[in-house]
Amino acid sequence: MSSVAPVEHHDRDAFLKLLKNYLACQSVSTDPAYREEMAKTREFLSKLIKDIGFTNVRELDGGVGGHNALYGEWLEKPGKPTLLIYGHYDVQPPDPLDQWLSEPFDMQERDGKLYARGISDDKGPTLIALEALRCHMAANNELPFNVKILLEGEEETGSPSLPNILSQNKELLSADAILSADGARWRADLTAINVGSRGNGGFEISIKTADLDLHSGRYGGAVPNALHEMARIVASLHDEDNRVTIPGFYDDVIMPDAQTEADLHSINFDGQGWTANIGSIEFGEKGYTTLQRLWDRPTLEVNGLWGGYQGAGSKTVIPNQAHAKITMRLVPGQDPEKIREAAKEYIKRLCPEGVELTITGDRGWTKAYAVPPAHPLLLAAEKALEDTLGDKPLRVRVGATLPLSDLVRNTLGIDTVMFSFSTADEQFHAPNEFLRVSAIDEGVAAWIKLLELVGEQSPQAYKNL
């Protein structure tokens, strides 16, 4: 055993160098053009976790033509808990490229922030977790408990391979709980911990009103226009109170209990300032606060819509096709399959006769998730944050989706605690994604502390939750 505490082994400069190299791997999972970059990214991580001391490092293939997940393990602490540490190595597409102030795959520091695609979601937070493991290993030549690592490559595309990866590797992946490096902190000025996340699902709709684009002089006024029809459909998906109009959409929603709601209302949260900060306005479902809209209420968003001429100048065409990408965020109580079918049925009904509708590209359809309030890993995570940062963390939820949580509960029967050091304002999924430099040292210290605390727990505490 070394006489130097694990945290003393943390080397921020070396860490930043490693992070820059990791971010240079262009691991965009949704676009087939990046397939080789995805493989390169797995090689990078494979070498990294082997160097830390993980063994049995291998790729796990879901068998559906997706991107493999990466697995590694260190299991030399019998009688101690076993945690599966989760992160994802894939990132969102970098476009619109012209809005980035520096190259998306070349990490740059400006004013205490590090900019790159995926740095906040989820490459930075994952590397923080791995750094804590490395520090423990460097200090003690061992970890405080048994650790399995699972790094997914399809988080940004709704995790199509993950169900198979989990169900086909139940033994390999068995653990007492999942500790996730994904999930993000709510705000920079408040110590908080995420105890729940929304589900997510979506599809693409395409409509066709004629065999070809038509000249607006020759046909204008006498044939349908695919963009008009698409606009009518999209405009019909919300009512004037900004409620989603899909029949039954809200029927099964379970709102948090009175205490949780009271806690929620006690939070010092300036919704107007929060939206003004991103150049927007407070908006949403009538009758709910901004935090309720974000955490407790389901949503439907059109993520992309297009048709007709988009080039310079104008083109007097009646577009014959229009397309829209739609996703929904689901909350506790909602059954993804039921919502999916209700949504498709409703959209079919909105599409007028004579207009051809196709619905393709189902993705996700994961349930919302909530961690049990007395879960030992949640308690350990809260103590680690309090010990490291000085404040007892507030329990909050997150509007985003971690497909793993719901899946893991269903396949492996265990719960997930989120312990990420990104922050929600860091422009992930948008241009100029960044991570605060300060998150690195904070995060490494908190992870080191959490690893110690779990090392003091008994595996029995994780049974019968």
Q: 237 or 454: whose CB is closer to its own copies?
A: 237
Among 142, 161, 163, smallest CA distance to 153 is for 161
Q: Are 68 and 61 in contact (CB under 8 A)?
A: yes
Distance separating alpha carbons of residues 136 and 9, to the nearest angstrom:
8
- Minimum CB distance to its own copies, residue 319 (Å): 7
Other Cβ atoms closer than 10 A to 18: 17
Rounded to whole angstroms, the Cα distance separating 209 from 357 reads 9
Q: Are 179 and 379 in contact (CB under 8 A)?
A: no
Query: 177 vs 237, which CB is nearer to its own copies?
Result: 237
- Distance (Å, whole) CA 244 – CA 263: 27
d(CA 158, CA 165): 14
- In the complex with its own copies, the residue whose CB is nearer, 132 or 368, is 368
Q: Is 63 exposed, middle or buried (0-12, 13-18, 19+ CB in 10 A)?
A: exposed
Nearest distance, CB of residue 320 and its own copies, angstroms: 8
Residue 7 or 255 having the CB closest to its own copies: 255
Q: Which is nearer to its own copies, 224 or 248 (CB)?
A: 224
Minimum distance of its own copies from residue 334's CB (angstroms): 13
d(CA 124, CA 119): 5
Q: How far is the CB of 271 from its own copies (least distance, A)?
A: 8
Q: By C-beta, is 80 or 340 nearer to its own copies?
A: 340
Quickly list DSSP for 426-454: S-TTSTT-EEETHHHHHHHHHHHHHHHHH
Closest to its own copies by CB, 67 vs 80, is 67
Alpha carbons within 13 A on the beta-carbon side of 366: 29
**How many C-alpha atoms does 49 have within 13 Å on its Cβ side?**
27
CA atoms within 13 A on the CB side of 201: 21
Nearer to its own copies, 248 or 431 (CB): 431
> For residues 355 and 417, which CB has a smaller minimum distance to its own copies in the complex?
355
> How many Cβ atoms sit within 10 Å of the Cβ of residue 81?
24
What's the residue count for the chain? 465
Using DSSP's 3-state secondary structure scheme, residue 213 falls into coil
Q: Which amino acid belongs to residue 232?
A: R
Residue 394 C-beta: closest distance to its own copies, Å: 17
Question: Shortest Cβ distance from residue 187 to its own copies (Å)?
Answer: 11
Handedness of CA 405, 406, 407, 410 (dihedral sign): positive
